[in-house]
């Protein structure tokens, strides 16, 4: 059996880390870097159409601030909603140079759980670190807040990719994939190079088809359905082409025998 787990990071638009603040900003396009949320909101609607069209489950890793600043919490409630920080924090300080104290880490988790309960109506059981850069201290206490799995790491792709214990052995890690594509360059199962026009759907299909047993986790960002980091908001034509390419990746894999599941379900696969 092989499972396809489509995961969506619900971030502020074109998120960026800055030195001196653990919270993320939006890329400055000339009018400052105050967080923006409109592309994330639009991109979520595009992804909801896609999920509906394919009839598949998926997991939203939602940063709490974006849920508070938009109206999309209830609209994603039929899917699994898991945590992705409160303010898309750099949890290790590797980019921001801000080291978060133990109490601050706990506060981020506590407030994130509460916002998801308020805005979506469920208690999250999963976590993904912003920037896929996990803080081991945080992973070690996450289980105290009802979290059962984490998805903040990459596994090098092989024919068998299985979830494994992490976080003081109290969590299950469901990794995203990393591999080498036909041109010899590193590729991960984050679709963003495709959204940016730098890779084709076929590159991601080939990466995922390496997995013969276990979990193939694919990831994307809400805002990336309608905006490029390089180039800004997409034209309607580009949004449609981007939708088609994303659909192509998912439907090709489903057609070749992958069963689409959410991350919570994938975490239970032995
Ligand atoms: Zn993110």
- What is the chain's mean pLDDT, rounded? 97
Mean pLDDT of 82-88: 98
pLDDT at residue 270 above 80? Answer: no
The pLDDT of residue 247 is 98
Give the orientation angle of helix 38-54 with respect to helix 236-255, to 10 degrees: 40
Q: Would residue 46 be called left, alpha or beta, if left means φ above 0 and alpha means ψ between -120 and 50 degrees?
A: alpha
Provide mean pLDDT across the span 163-183. Answer: 93
Cα 23 to middle of ligand 1, angstroms: 11
The pLDDT tens digits of the residues spanning 66-79 come to 999 999 999 999 99
- Kindly give the distance from the C-alpha atom of residue 220 to the centroid of ligand 1, in angstroms, as a whole number: 9
Return the ∠ at Cα 216 (arms to 213 and 220), rounded to 5°: 175
Please tell me the distance between residue 13's alpha carbon and the centre of ligand 1 in angstroms: 10
Q: What is the mean pLDDT of residues 214-218?
A: 97
Q: How far is the CA of 9 from the centre of ligand 1 (A)?
A: 5
**pLDDT confidence tier of residue 245, bands split at 50, 70 and 90:** very high
Which residue has tokens 């506060």? 107
Residue 143's pLDDT band (cuts 50, 70, 90): very high
How far does the centroid of ligand 1 lie from the alpha carbon of residue 219, in Å?
10
Q: What is the dihedral of CA 182, 184, 186, 192, to 10 degrees?
A: -50
What pLDDT was estimated at residue 28? 95
- pLDDT confidence band for 167 (50 / 70 / 90): confident
Rounded to the nearest angstrom, the distance between the alpha carbon of 55 and the centre of ligand 1 is 25
- Which pLDDT score is estimated for 195? 98
Ligand 1 centre distance from Cα of residue 85 (Å): 8
Is the pLDDT assigned to residue 175 strictly greater than 90? yes
**Dist. CA 229–CA 168, nearest whole Å:** 36
Query: How far does the centroid of ligand 1 lie from the alpha carbon of residue 125, in Å?
Result: 17
What pLDDT was estimated at residue 168?
A: 81
The residue segments making up the domain with residue 259 are: 2-266
**Distance, CA 91 to ligand 1 centroid (Å)?**
12
List the structure tokens of 249: 């990746």
Q: What is the pLDDT of residue 182?
A: 86
Q: If you average pLDDT over residues 196-220, what whole number do you get? A: 97
176 three-class SS? strand
pLDDT value at residue 100: 98
CA of 29 relative to ligand 1 center, distance in Å: 19
> pLDDT by residue (tens digit) across 107-137?
999 999 999 999 999 999 999 999 999 999 9
Burial class (CB in 10 A: 0-12, 13-18, 19+), 182: exposed
Start-end of H helices in the chain: 38-54, 64-69, 102-119, 136-141, 192-195, 201-209, 236-255, 263-266
Tally of structural domains, the chain: 1
pLDDT at 256 over 90: yes
Ligand 1 midpoint to CA 88 (Å): 6
Q: How many angstroms separate the alpha carbon of residue 5 from the centre of ligand 1?
A: 17
> What's the gap in Å between 77 CA and the centre of ligand 1?
19
pLDDT at 269: 79
Q: Does the pLDDT value for residue 177 go beyond 90?
A: yes
Cα–Cα distance for residue pair 236/93, rounded to 1 Å:
37
pTM of the model: 0.97
CA of 35 to the centre of ligand 1 (A): 13
User: CB count, 10 Å around CB of 36?
Assistant: 21
The C-alpha atoms of residue 1 and residue 73 are separated, in whole angstroms, by 32
CB 249 within 8 A of CB 205: yes
CB 165 within 8 A of CB 140: no
CATH of the domain at 138: 3.20.20.370
What integer pLDDT is reported at residue 169 of this predicted model? 87
Q: Which residues, other chains included, contact 237 with Cβ-Cβ below 8 Å and sequence gap of 6+?
A: none
The token pair at 122 is 């469920």
**Model confidence over 197-208: pLDDT tens digits?**
999 999 999 999
Q: How confident is the model at residue 151 (pLDDT cuts 50, 70, 90)?
A: very high
Annotate 121-188 with three-state secondary structure: CCCCCEECCHHHCCCHHHHHHHHHHCCCEECCCEEECCCEECCEEECCCCEEECCEEEEECCCCCEEE
Angle at which helix 201-209 crosses helix 236-255, to 10 degrees, equals 20
């Amino acid at each position: 059996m092989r499972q396809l787990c489509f995961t969506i990071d619900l971030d502020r638009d074109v998120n960026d880390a800055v030195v001196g603040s653990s919270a993320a900003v939006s890329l400055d396009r000339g009018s400052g870097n105050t967080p923006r949320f409109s592309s994330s909101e639009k991109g979520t609607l595009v992804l909801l159409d896609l999920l509906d069209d394919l009839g598949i489950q998926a997991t939203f890793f939602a940063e709490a601030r974006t849920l508070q600043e938009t109206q999309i919490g209830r609209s994603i409630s039929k899917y699994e909603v898991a945590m992705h920080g409160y303010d898309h924090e750099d949890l290790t300080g590797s980019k921001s140079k801000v080291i978060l104290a133990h109490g601050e880490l706990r506060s981020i988790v506590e407030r994130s759980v509460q916002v998801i309960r308020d805005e979506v109506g469920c208690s999250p059981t999963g976590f993904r670190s912003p920037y896929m850069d996990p803080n081991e201290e945080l992973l070690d206490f996450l289980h105290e807040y009802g979290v059962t799995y984490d998805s903040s790491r990459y596994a090098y792709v092989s024919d068998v990719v299985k979830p494994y214990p992490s976080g003081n052995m109290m969590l299950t890690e469901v990794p995203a994939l990393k591999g080498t594509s036909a041109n010899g360059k590193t590729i991960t199962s984050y679709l963003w190079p495709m959204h940016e026009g730098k890779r084709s759907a076929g590159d991601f299909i080939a990466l995922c088809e390496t997995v013969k047993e276990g979990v193939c986790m694919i990831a994307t960002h809400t805002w990336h359905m309608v905006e490029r980091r390089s180039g800004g908001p997409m034209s309607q034509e580009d949004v449609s082409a981007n939708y088609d390419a994303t659909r192509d990746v998912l439907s090709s894999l489903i057609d070749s025998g992958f069963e689409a599941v959410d991350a919570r379900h994938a975490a239970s696969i032995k």
